[in-house]
């Protein structure tokens, strides 16, 4: 009798399993969902990587003209890179690259110092006007920086900082001047650090500067890495401010130099070199991300262990 019941139950189970439509099966739905997700990600990856691959291959194109019958080059050469750094009579790309590197390094150092100091003051110190300053900084941060470009130009012109070699100094000043206003992210990270560490340090006789240098900075290494990357990329990729201030090739940055390569008088002979320049511009950014990512991971693992 029991065998008959077991047989009937198994038959009912098989029948119920077969009667469930495949679109209601949770396992099948999960597999279909994974397939659709992966297809979507593959399509988006192709859309994102195709222009990068095209620019990279175009930098080796033997045909320097911009308009061609094929999407990818048919003949390849390394002369575009050689000519980009050797033929400096028309467009001095090495000088532009050096200008950009100098400005970006100085801005990165100065901006990082400003942001850390302002964030520490806003997070750890209490003084009159603190909240007012934070509110003003928050409101000003809502407006795009491009609104002040014309005013910045006339201010620099009034001080004689728009001509000659001082243009690079002007760029460093402008990029660094407003960096302290972007302290909110760093301040938010410092707010998570227990103030008991500061109090213990003060009891041991540390000054405010020693607390900042010996306690806060080592804990803030992940955010320091983030801020260093952001501060470096700002002047490295900016075009609008350089276009407004720089008037001669001696003061051009790579963004403005690449723009000049696409002008009517240069594009037929410089388009392939433009692609080579774009590849060269991306190399320091890639190196910066790789190096900083290693420091970021080390600091995060150290903080977890601590």
pLDDT at 122 over 50: yes
pLDDT at 226 over 70: yes
Model pTM above 0.85: no
**CA 255/CA 243 separation, integer angstroms:** 9
Question: What backbone phi and psi angles, to 5 degrees, belong to 252?
Answer: -70, 150
81-109 as b/e: b if 16+ CB within 10 A: bebbeeeeeebbbeebbebbbebbebbbe
Question: Nearest-CA neighbor of 194 among 174, 211, 177?
Answer: 211
Contacts of the segment 145-153: beta carbons below 8 A, 24+ positions apart: 145/178, 146/240, 149/240, 149/241, 149/244, 150/244, 152/241, 152/244, 153/244, 153/245
The H-or-E segment that residue 256 falls in is helix 254-261
Q: Are 100 and 282 in contact (CB under 8 A)?
A: no
Question: What backbone phi and psi angles, to 5 degrees, belong to 187?
Answer: -65, -40
Q: What percent of the chain has pLDDT over 90?
A: 15
- Higher-confidence residue of 25 and 5: namely 25
Q: What percent of the chain has pLDDT over 70?
A: 88
Residue 26: count other Cβ atoms within 10 Å of its Cβ. 8
| pLDDT band at 296; cut points 50, 70, 90 | low
Both tokens of 23, joined, read 């679109």
In DSSP terms, which residues pair with 61 in a beta bridge? 76
pLDDT at 108 over 60: yes
Q: What is the predicted pLDDT for the residue at 103?
A: 93
| pLDDT band at 65; cut points 50, 70, 90 | confident
pLDDT at 8 over 60: no
- Sign of the CA dihedral with 238 first, then 239, 244, and 246 last: positive
Q: Which domains does the chain have, with CATH numbers?
A: 102-228 (1.10.3720.10)
Per residue in 152-210, pLDDT tens? 889 888 888 888 778 899 999 998 887 877 788 888 888 888 888 888 888 888 888 88
**CA 219/CA 12 separation, integer angstroms:** 63
């Amino acid at each position: 009798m029991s065998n008959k019941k077991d047989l009937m139950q198994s038959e009912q189970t098989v029948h119920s399993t077969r009667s469930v439509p495949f679109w209601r099966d949770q396992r099948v739905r999960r597999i279909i969902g994974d397939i659709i997700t992966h297809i979507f990600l593959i399509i988006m990856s192709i859309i994102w990587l195709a222009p990068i691959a095209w620019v990279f291959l175009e930098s080796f194109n033997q045909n320097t003209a911009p308009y061609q019958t094929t999407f990818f080059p048919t003949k390849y050469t390394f002369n575009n890179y050689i000519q980009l750094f050797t033929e400096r009579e028309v467009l001095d790309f090495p000088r532009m690259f050096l200008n950009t590197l100098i400005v970006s390094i100085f801005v990165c150092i100065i901006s990082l110092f400003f942001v850390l100091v302002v964030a520490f003051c806003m997070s750890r110190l209490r003084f009159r006007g603190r909240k007012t300053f934070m509110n003003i900084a928050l409101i000003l941060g809502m407006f795009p920086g491009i609104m002040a470009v014309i005013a910045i130009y006339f201010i620099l012109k009034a001080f004689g900082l728009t001509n000659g070699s001082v243009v690079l100094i002007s760029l460093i000043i402008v990029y660094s001047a407003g960096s302290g206003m972007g302290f909110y992210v760093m301040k938010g990270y410092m707010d998570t650090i227990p103030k008991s560490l500061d109090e213990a340090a003060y009891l041991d006789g540390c000054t405010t500067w020693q607390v900042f240098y010996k306690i806060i900075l080592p804990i803030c290494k992940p955010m320091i890495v983030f801020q260093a990357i952001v501060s470096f990329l700002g002047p490295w990729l900016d075009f609008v401010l350089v276009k407004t201030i720089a008037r001669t090739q001696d003061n051009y940055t790579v963004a403005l130099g690449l723009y000049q390569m696409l002008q009517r008088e240069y594009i037929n002979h410089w388009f392939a070199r433009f692609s080579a320049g774009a590849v060269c511009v991306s190399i320091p950014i890639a190196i910066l991300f790789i190096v900083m990512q290693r420091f970021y991971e080390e600091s995060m693992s150290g903080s977890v262990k601590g």
